[in-house]
A = this chain, B = another copy of it.
Amino acid sequence: MLRSCASRLRKPGALRGPLGGTPPPARGSRPPPVSPGAGRRERAAGPGCVWGEPRSFSSEVIYVDHSLPNSSWSKDMRLLFDQFMKKTEDGSWKRLPSYKSVSPQRIEELKTFFPDAKPIKEHMSQAQLFPRSLEEGLGFEYAMFHNHVENRTVCIFQGGPYLQGVPGFLHGGAIATMIDSTVGMCAFIAEGIVMTANLNISFRRPIPLCSVVVINSQLDKVEGRKLFVSCNVQSVDEKTLYSEATSLFVKLDPKKSLT
């Protein structure tokens, strides 16, 4: 039951698990409505995108893929994005879109795992994916790419001025957020809906505010329902190691409620 469900959900478009991540919409599914405050109707999924096709519905608002370049992106961020887009051309890497909101269909799927959870209904009207909830350029600007053969997910990340910890540097929680999102995506793509069980981060050096870093994650091992994913956070020139992390994810079992 679990295997068949996981297999179904592992296909492009299924949601990744709780506690961090970027849920991609199902291929061919109806797009979710743009959340209040998103303020943009254009730029649906673009080239190199593995999940979600640009679609138009005359009576619906087009959903917005926030992992495409915008005017707040620095030169470093754009150059990195272009480099990875080049890698998508031969199909070895895929760009992963990301959205603020989740479609009603996905929510229904997730209820299988959280049958007793009241908040799913109560707070959905306002809810937004945490790493996409700050306005453009002020918070998390990022794009992820995945290599299926190597089981690697890479995130290029520019941390805006609202992510400050000590003056001039990123807050540890902001770094943890992007690490959790990246390793979580790596685990999800490999095995379907998963939940973060452990996240162990070593902060080697503080990351300057508004700089660009690269988060490299790698699926190291799968043991039954356990997935082990490691990652590091480096400067664009790869000369500075900012953080390292290991993580443990658990594939969810729809027969066992977690709430």
CB within 8 Å of B: which residues of A? 15-21, 23, 102, 106-107, 110, 114, 117-124, 126-131, 133-134, 138-139, 161-181, 184, 195-203, 205-206, 208-211, 258-259
Tell me, in angstroms, the Cα distance from A16 to B181 when the chains sit together: 26
Considering residues A122, A173, A210, which has the most beta carbons from chain B within 10 angstroms of its beta carbon? A173
Question: Is B173 in contact with A180, judged by CB distance below 8 angstroms?
Answer: yes
Tell me, in angstroms, the Cα distance from A197 to B131 when the chains sit together: 23
- Further 12 A-B residue pairs, CB within 8 A, beyond A130-B174, A173-B176, A173-B179: A18-B166, A107-B167, A114-B169, A114-B206, A119-B210, A122-B210, A130-B171, A174-B177, A176-B176, A176-B199, A198-B200, A205-B259
Question: Is B19 in contact with A162, judged by CB distance below 8 angstroms?
Answer: no
Chain B residues contacting A202 (CB-CB under 8 Å) are: 197-198
Tell me, in angstroms, the Cα distance from A196 to B170 when the chains sit together: 12
Task: Name the distance in Å between A104's Cβ and chain B's nearest Cβ.
Answer: 10
Question: Is A206 in contact with B19, judged by CB distance below 8 angstroms?
Answer: yes
Question: Is B167 in contact with A131, judged by CB distance below 8 angstroms?
Answer: no
Between-chain CB contacts (< 8 Å), 15 pairs: A16-B166, A19-B166, A20-B171, A20-B172, A110-B168, A119-B208, A124-B167, A126-B161, A126-B162, A130-B164, A172-B177, A173-B176, A176-B199, A198-B201, A199-B203
